[in-house]
Amino acid sequence: MEKKFANWKILIIDDETELLELMKELLEDESFQVFCASNGSDGILKNELENPDLILLDLRMPEMDGIETLRNIRASDDNVRVIVLTGYGCPDTIREAADLNVSEYLSKPFENEELVSVISKALEL
């Protein structure tokens, strides 16, 4: 059986450890290569080191929020696709993220199938 997601790299940046682990496990089961970061600074570094095809980015994180993290990533990487994860869909934040070239938004909580579907669309599979 062909693994349609093999060779696609995803970076998850989220400070919720449990959710991070669940998403990692789900995406690895779908054959993605998955890298994780629990804060913005680590996420920026991992993006540079691993060069992922897509980033799942939580907006609400301590120290450096998702918007600031994305600004830093966009300063050096304009091509990586980004899906914003948020439990708080503030219109101003969404507009700000849209200005930073975000592929999609996913509201927490979400279903596993929904996550995989949104990723597939963002990667145009």
Spatial separation of the C-alpha atoms in residues 47 and 56, rounded to whole Å = 11
CATH classification (class only), 9-122: alpha beta
H or E stretch at 54: strand 54-58
Annotated domain spans of the chain: 9-122
- What pTM was estimated for this model as a whole? 0.93
Q: What is the pLDDT of residues 62-100, one digit of tens each?
A: 999 999 999 999 999 999 999 999 876 667 777 787 788
Q: How far is CA 49 from CA 3, 9, 40, 121, in A?
A: 24, 12, 14, 25
